Amino acid sequence: DVKVTQSSRYLVKRTGEKVFLECVQDMDHENMFWYRQDPGLGLRLIYFSYDVKMKEKGDIPEGYSVSREKKERFSLILESASTNQTSMYLCASSQPLHSGETQYFGPGTRLLVL
Amino acid sequence: DAKTTQPNSMESNEEEPVHLPCNHSTISGTDYIHWYRQLPSQGPEYVIHGLTSNVNNRMASLAIAEDRKSSTLILHRATLRDAAVYYCILRDVDDSGNTPLVFGKGTRLSVIA
């Protein structure tokens, strides 16, 4: 079974802190994604990567950066956390999403910024 | 990707069938129809997908209208563990494969014991 793991299920940080959210997948997937999910807004794409050292902005990249130094690991970085970044963060991975490929999600990290 | 429309919420009794509708009137001939669901406090998970013909797997069935402008996800016997948000997503088979799935707001299914 594909496994996507995220470094923390719950995280509490203070405004202005630098925050790292780590995601690791064990199926040699080429694509990796970071979403955030907020009540009433659904899943919104922050960044994605289709290869090592490659990254693409999603719909809401402002205030975030990402790093993909190894194929299995995709990190989301909040350079200076703010209270409006309090959210559930979901990582996903997949092979190239032609017709029937599946996107696999991690369990999520619930981040609270005080 | 073409747009989908789903009801915000639905309710079902336990052990009864559930039909979750999805409208996609602007679907193109190369769009696959995917369904994912998100259980409480978990990430989304794949349920089923299809192109033109009806599809069955161990989780559900997918019924696709002949004109492909709508589809229905069928849970044959709802259980309490099926309570989740269900997402209907279109995916172009001609897409390069590097862009992610786009999730709408989905349908929140409640199952009553």
Ordered DSSP codes for B50-110: ESSS-EE-SS-EEEE-TTSSEEEEEESS--GGG-EEEEEEEEETTS-S-SPP-----EEEE
Instruction: Choose among B76, B71, B74, B100: nearest CA to B88.
Output: B71
Instruction: Choose among A114, A111, A104, A110: nearest CA to A5.
Output: A104
- Residues in B closer than 8 angstroms to A90, CB to CB, are 43-44
State residue B96's pLDDT score. Answer: 61
Check B100 against A31: CB less than 8 A apart: yes
Interface test with B, best of A93, A99, A105 (most B CBs within 10 A): A99
Interface test with B, best of A31, A103, A105, A110 (most B CBs within 10 A): A103
Give DSSP secondary structure letters for A73-106: EEEEEESS--GGG-EEEEEEEES---TT---EE-
Backbone φ and ψ for B29, nearest 5 degrees, come out as -65, -20
Check A98 against B42: CB less than 8 A apart: no
Nearest CA in chain A to B42: A107
Q: Report the alpha-carbon distance of residue A92 to residue B100 in Å, rounded.
A: 9
- pLDDT tens-digit profile, chain B (113 residues): 568 999 999 999 999 999 999 999 999 888 889 999 999 989 999 999 999 999 999 999 999 999 999 999 999 999 999 999 999 998 876 666 666 788 888 999 999 99
- pLDDT tens-digit profile, chain A (114 residues): 669 999 999 999 999 999 999 999 999 998 999 999 998 888 999 999 989 989 999 999 999 999 999 999 999 999 999 999 999 999 999 887 665 678 899 999 999 999
Q: Report the alpha-carbon distance of residue A100 to residue B85 in Å, rounded.
A: 21
User: Hey, what are B109's tokens?
Assistant: 């299914």
Check A90 against B102: CB less than 8 A apart: no
Nearest CA in chain A to B40: A107
Check B95 against A31: CB less than 8 A apart: no
Q: Report the alpha-carbon distance of residue A91 to residue A33 in Å, rounded.
A: 6
User: Hey, what are A14's tokens?
Assistant: 């203070």
Å between A57 CA and nearest CA of chain B: 11
Instruction: Choose among A31, A58, A57, A43: nearest CA to A90.
Output: A43
Calculate the alpha carbon distances from A47 to A76, B17, B42, B57 in Å: 8, 38, 20, 32
B53 touching chain A per CB within 8 A: no
State residue A83's pLDDT score. Answer: 97
